[in-house]
Amino acid sequence: MHSETVTVAGTATETFDASWLDVGQGHRLYYEQAGATNATAALLLHGGPGSGSSPRQRIFLDSAPLRIVQFDQRGCGRSEPLGETAHNHADALIGDIERLRVHLGIDRWLVFGGSWGAALALAYAARHRDHVSGLILRGVFLTGKADLDWFFHGVSALAPEVHARFMAQVPRRWRRSVVTWLDRCFAGADSEQGRHLSAHWQAYETALGGMHPQAGANPPGIVSATPGLRAKYRIQAHYLARKCFLGEAAVLNAAANSSGIPVAIIHGTHDLVCRPQNAWRVHRTCTGSRLAWAAQAGHDPYHPASLHLLRGATRCFATHGDFSAWPDGNN
């Protein structure tokens, strides 16, 4: 296991360290550190699965002095090899998080995760509780069959046009097994098909994640689907076809095992990607957690209501070491 340092330009929350960490099995992870070097450490887990980290995401945590750590999960973003699904599963990612913590010399950290990142944060906390000082969970994804059925089928009740456009790309005989079909398509060698599906999948997610899904524009052409976008959805299909190697019961068990850790949960009241009941179930399962609803917000974490609550939770934790004064105060 070794790291390789790179030079990066400053950002809104200035980056002071960027490297690659070799985690074995042919994978090398890109990570960055930003903010205050001597402050409380905070790990920012990206969603997807398959998305990636970006400096913009630091806005969730930059309302208080923190040492913010980000990394691109296996096969994602700037990690190498891009789009690789071999040796890429939830247990491997949990191990990677722990390797990164040890590599950076961090004893305990606040762990933030949105969507898939929220499920991964819970799974990590359940496995390495002694190294987690708190959790901030946004737009919770439970990874199970109910979530997948909602995203690929049930949501049509609220966004029929958007759903119909996406389903038009799926052969009729595969429409009840969409994730299996997507996984097979992205695992195949037809790069043109992968680019085409990536463009339509991105359009589908973007429309559902916004405020008014029925007002979404027509999906982009395949020219807009870059190799990076195809890699993102290859990873996502690989995970979703296997319930993210976790499943709903495992995520809720992880939430139960996280009882007693300071936990803040933020969820949009109009989230069509990850249903609000997910947040409620985690809150009811995780004793002592605090839940705040982002009024009128969908799955987009940059919606003003979501961002307000996220930044307030960060400030509260930095001040008190827990979320006891949140959301009623310090936000």
Could you give the residue numbers annotated as active site?
A: 115, 271, 299
197 C-beta neighbours (distance < 10 Å), count: 24
The packing angle between helices 227-240 and 178-187, to 10°, is 130
Nearest CA to 165 out of 209, 115, 220 is that of: 220
For residue 165, CA distances in Å to 156, 199, 220 come to 11, 12, 12
For 3, which DSSP code?
E
Helix (H/G/I), strand (E/B), else coil: 50: coil
Distance CA 146, CA 86 (A): 26
Question: Residue 83, CB half-sphere, CA atoms under 13 Å: how many?
Answer: 17
Q: Other C-beta atoms within 10 Å of 46: how many? A: 23
Residue 14: closest CA among 40, 37, 44, 42: 37
User: In the chain, what's the furthest Cα-to-Cα distance?
Assistant: 56
Whole-angstrom distance between the N-terminal and C-terminal Cα of the chain?
41
Q: How far apart are CA 160 and CA 262, in angstroms?
A: 39
Backbone dihedral region for residue 121 (phi beyond 0: left; psi -120 to 50: alpha; all else: beta): alpha
Q: Answer yes or no: are the C-beta atoms of 39 and 66 closer than 8 Å.
A: yes
User: What tokens were used for 304?
Assistant: 């003003």
